[in-house]
Structure 1
Amino acid sequence: MILSDWDIRVYIEKKLLIIDPLFDDTVRENGVDLRFGDEFCRFKRENSVVDTSRDGVDNVLECYRVRGDGFVINPLEHVLTTTLEYVEFPHDLVGLVNLRSTFARFGLYIPPTVIDAGFKGNITIELVGSTVPVKVYPGQRFLHLILARTSSPVYKPYTGKYQGQRGVTPPKLDNSSSKIY
């Protein structure tokens, strides 16, 4: 079941769902709107191959702290960004992340993203650029997060490698899972 604004406010008041900071316009009719943080990362333009079996991608990302001048997402560029808000999900809610329609109308896109029950941290999001450059700014509401209640609290809440992340978190690979069988 998708939560209404009423249900979301109850979860927040009871401190079952944490959204920090929480703005007056965060809670919407059937979800919450989240804002751009001030960190953006883009892939370096190199002719090398990104090897997904090695640890870390620090050598292929360029990260920036952005202030009032904004950040330009180049045509068809894949960019990692983060939400301003830190969230903590209870064991009976999952989040379905959508780009707010205003940004979609500018041609931006995000791949389907699910926030697991029990997740805590800033949300790292991949944005895909339009066919033209698009400038975005920290503090703009850009995500709409739909909250759905599970049929019962999950038996094993999220405790994965992205738990507690702050700011943009690049991919973290588990080398044991990259083996070919």
Structure 2
Amino acid sequence: MILSDFDLKNYIKSGRIVIEPFDESIVRENGLDLRLGDEICELMGIEEVLDPYTASDISKYYNCHKIDEFIVKPYNKYLLTTLEYIRVPPELMAFVELRSTFARLGLAIPPTIIDGGFEGQITIELHGSAFPIKLRKGTRFLHIVFSKVTSPIERPYSGKYQRQRGVKLPHLPID
């Protein structure tokens, strides 16, 4: 069951879903629009092989910086963060989608799920279009659709990205 705007407002009012900072304008018909935060990491095109099965300095593969606005270069890949810090209760999960206008400009994100029990800012991968596009901090950028699971999750999310703030690079080694 997908939550409606009525359901979402009640979950937020009761504190079951936490959105900080919260603004009524992000509540949509069947989800929430989250805004672009102030940090990006551009994936760098370097030749050095990364072995994700060993601990290594992952930062050399990314160019990270704070932004007010930036240009998405054609076909480049970025990690972005949301302005909002969220907390999802264990009886819900959420699907993350790019807002339609940005998809129509040729931008794309991979399929992304927010697990029940997750808490933090969302780090999302963005793939550039065929032409440069300017983005600004605070722009409603992602659409999150919440769904009830058939029963509360017995082991809510408590992984390595719990309570993340800003863009979080991959934690290595992978398991």
TM-score of the superposed pair, with normalisation by structure 2: 0.96
**Match in the other structure for 1:25:** 25
RMSD, aligned CA: 1.1
Deviation at 1:43, TM superposition (A): 1.8
Off by >6 Å, runs of 4+ in structure 1: none
Structure 1 counterpart SS, 2:7: helix
Q: Secondary structure at the residue paired with 2:8?
A: helix
Partner of 1:60: 61
Deviation at 1:148, TM superposition (A): 0.3
Partner of 2:129: 130
Q: 1:81 and 2:80 equivalent?
A: yes
1:134 Cα deviation after fit: 1.2
In the alignment, the residues of structure 2 paired with residue 48 and residue 73 of structure 1 have an alpha-carbon distance, to the nearest angstrom, of 24
Unaligned 5+ runs, structure 2: none
1:163 and 2:162 matched: yes
Q: Distance in 2 between matches of 1:143 and 1:32?
A: 8
| Post-superposition offset of 1:152 | 1.2
Distance 1:48 1:136 in 2: 30
Give me the whole-angstrom Cα distance separating, in 1, the residues matched to 2:27 and 2:54: 40
Spell out, residue by residue over 1:35-94, the C-alpha distance to the aligned partner (whole angstroms, 9 max, x if none): 000100012232222322232511211101002xx1111111110000000000101110
Within-5 A mapping of 1:106-121: 106-121=105-120
Of stretches 37-46 and 50-59 in structure 1, the one that deviates more from structure 2 is 50-59
Mean Cα deviation higher: 40-49 or 105-114: 40-49
> For residues 45 and 66 of structure 2, what CA distance do their matches in structure 1 show?
19
8 Å Cα contact 2:52/2:173 also seen in 1: no
* Cα deviation code 1:95-154 (max 9, x no counterpart): 100000011111100000000000000000000000111111100000000000111110
Q: Give TM-score, length-normalised by structure 1.
A: 0.93
Q: Distance in 2 between matches of 1:174 and 1:3?
A: 36
Structure 2 counterpart of 1:99: 98
Q: 2:147, 2:156 → 1: CA distance?
A: 15
CA distance in 2, matches of 1:48, 1:3: 45
Q: Which amino acid aligns with 1:171?
A: P
User: In the aligned structure 2, how far is the partner of 1:38 from the partner of 1:100?
Assistant: 18
Aligned residues with identical type, % of pairs: 47
Distance 1:76 1:24 in 2: 34
